Amino acid sequence: MSGVINELGKNRAMTILNDLDLRQLEAFSAVISAGSVTAAAKALNRSQPAVSRLIQELEQSLGYPLFIRNGPRIHPSEEALQLHQYVQKALLSLQQIRLRAQEIAHQQHRPLSIAATPALAAGLLPQALAALNLQNKVQIISESAVNTAHAVITAEADLGLCSLPLEHHAVELHWIGQSQCVVALPENDELAAHTRLSLSSLAGRRLIAPWSPQRLRGRYEKALKKVKTPLQETIETNSSANILGCVRAGLGVAILEPVTGWGMPLAGVVIRPLEEDIPYYFGVITPQGRQISTAAQALVEALADAAAHLLPGFERLPASEHPRIMRLINQD
């Protein structure tokens, strides 16, 4: 009996997929983004009744309401909000296909697509690009480390730049960068007078911390425990730029990866090296088994040159060092 139910579910899902219409999805996305059917109709250059009809047809295909109607106003349902993130990605992918098709037709240079974590995208990548005389259009996708790797695996990006670990078999790791973490503190902090800082000197201060404990945060928390230096965590964020902004506002200090610290100087914030050895590791990856373009290959080397210029004590390590580095990290 369960097999029959599962089969019916599959058939229903296939019916939904077959009934979906691109115009319906575009109308749905436009209404979500614009906030009303009227505004969506203007954005799509369609009539309001036409957009309303497309939404109704999509709801019929899906089998559930996408918008809650209250007189002239509409609000997206919970199902609509869940669906929207996937529709957005699908429409964006379709737009990219259209652009690539046009470029091929006109024999234009293929864009160089780069995926990078926000810190590396803002703190290091621009310096590397500035050193190249690229004829290609450049696209920068700023994502989490996991999504950066995924963009490279799926060939959405020609090149990826993100923190370790990078153990995916579907990517080629070209090199690993190593540089020491730093402390960010307000310029009026008494510790700013020191050229280097120890973790113990931060005792009692409020800490602005990165959101995820799986990467850098977990490692410096272990280091703080070793030197018995408790810090009061006040704000968590997934953005290094947000961390610097909070430090400048006097909300606390931060133990920061060096790319943001040295690559994105912010008035009112001073950066000081740490006495303790807390290295930050990042790598450059491309899709496994795929011949990379001349532009991508040039960028692989330009990134290493930019990192050597930007980051004090930078070391370029071969990809073969990845297992050893991960053992060291896990032993910390």
pLDDT at 5: 35
User: Quick check: 158 and 113 in contact, CB under 8 A?
Assistant: yes
Is 237 found in the same domain as 188?
Answer: yes
Is 149 found in the same domain as 273?
Answer: no
Note down the domain range covering 57. 3-105
> Total structural domains in the chain?
3
Which residues make Cβ contacts (< 8 Å) with residue 42, sequence separation at least 6?
Answer: 34
- Decide if pLDDT at 111 tops 70: yes
Is 68 found in the same domain as 81?
Answer: yes
Is 99 found in the same domain as 84?
Answer: yes
Q: In what order do the strands lie in the sheet with 269-273?
A: 254-256, 182-186, 269-273
What does the radius of gyration of the chain's CA atoms come to, in whole angstroms?
24
Q: 84, 105, 126: which is the final residue of a domain?
A: 105
Instruction: Locate the DSSP E strands across 164-288.
Output: 171-180, 182-186, 206-210, 232-237, 254-256, 269-273, 279-287
Which token pair is 83?
Answer: 């669906």
Pick the residue with more confidence: 10 or 197? 197
- Decide if pLDDT at 15 tops 50: no
For 187-238, write each residue's pLDDT tens digit: 999 999 999 998 888 888 888 888 765 567 767 777 777 767 666 767 888 8
For 249-272, write each residue's pLDDT tens digit: 999 999 889 999 999 989 999 999
Q: Which CATH number characterizes residue 88's domain?
A: 1.10.10.10
Q: 76, 105, 134: which is the final residue of a domain?
A: 105
Which token pair is 5?
Answer: 């139910």
Is 196 found in the same domain as 229?
Answer: yes
Which token pair is 30?
Answer: 């436009």
CA dist list (Å): 27 to 47, 52, 69, 71, 83: 11, 8, 16, 20, 13
pLDDT at 115: 95
Confirm whether pTM is higher than 0.75. Answer: no
- Decide if pLDDT at 10 tops 50: no
Tell me the pLDDT of the chain averaged across its residues: 84
Residues 121, 127, 132, 134: what is their CA dihedral angle, to the nearest 10 degrees? 40
Q: How far apart are CA 191 and CA 105, in angstroms?
A: 60
% of the chain at pLDDT higher than 90: 36
Is 167 found in the same domain as 136?
Answer: yes
